[in-house]
């Protein structure tokens, strides 16, 4: 297994195609590692193993349900897997919970980004369930990795974004609006 790129590292440069809409026109767009940096935004990129599976749509739909919460925090939300943009589009068109997502589904078909991040499972060569929180300078500030069979908690990712954005010490179980540590 490769070493997973972690906290303090620069997020790798990338330019990938993503599904941004299920509409007939403008359904694909190029997404780059510099998009959020140019806008002074944070980035949350969350990876799932593969489309048309059982756990993945529950997570993707949960991120979709919270996409406004990410936007309110100045976070560019990006979902990603090693499936193609055409598979992403077909899945979005055929799964009711995925039809109206407001964030892009990035296609790392070459697996180059997943490989550089060190998040490919060694036997199947699919990405682990990994979430990256990247600051507006392109530096990784948080990484969480789940086994292929375990879905993640979107509220916890939002909580960590809130904590990081305070730029202060936050105690265990801290939530936005609570006191930070001196």
Residues with catalytic annotation? 56
DSSP label of 41? -
Dihedral of CA atoms 105, 109, 110, 111 in degrees, nearest 10, equals: 60
DSSP label of 79? E
DSSP label of 56? H
Largest CA distance in the chain: 53
CA angle 112/144/174 to nearest 5° reads 150
* Closest of 161, 169, 134, 149 to residue 32, by C-alpha: 134
Cα–Cα distance, 91 to 152 (Å, whole number): 20
């Amino acid at each position: 297994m490769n070493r997973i790129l972690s906290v303090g590292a620069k997020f790798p440069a990338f330019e990938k195609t993503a599904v941004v809409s299920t509409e007939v026109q403008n359904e694909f767009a190029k997404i780059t590692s510099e998009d959020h940096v140019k806008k002074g935004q944070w980035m949350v990129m969350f990876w799932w193993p593969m489309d048309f599976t059982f756990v993945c749509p529950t997570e993707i739909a949960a991120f979709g349900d919270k996409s406004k919460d990410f936007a309110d925090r100045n976070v560019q939300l990006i979902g990603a897997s090693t499936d193609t943009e055409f598979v992403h589009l077909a899945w979005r068109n055929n799964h009711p919970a995925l039809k109206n997502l407001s964030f892009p589904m990035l296609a790392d078909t070459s697996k180059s980004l997943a490989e550089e991040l060190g998040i490919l499972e060694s036997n199947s060569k699919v990405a682990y369930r990994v979430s990256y929180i990247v600051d507006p300078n392109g530096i990784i500030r948080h990484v969480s990795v789940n086994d292929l069979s375990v879905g993640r908690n979107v509220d916890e990712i939002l909580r960590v974004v809130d904590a990081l954005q305070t730029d202060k010490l936050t105690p265990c179980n801290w939530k936005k609006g609570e006191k930070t540590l001196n």
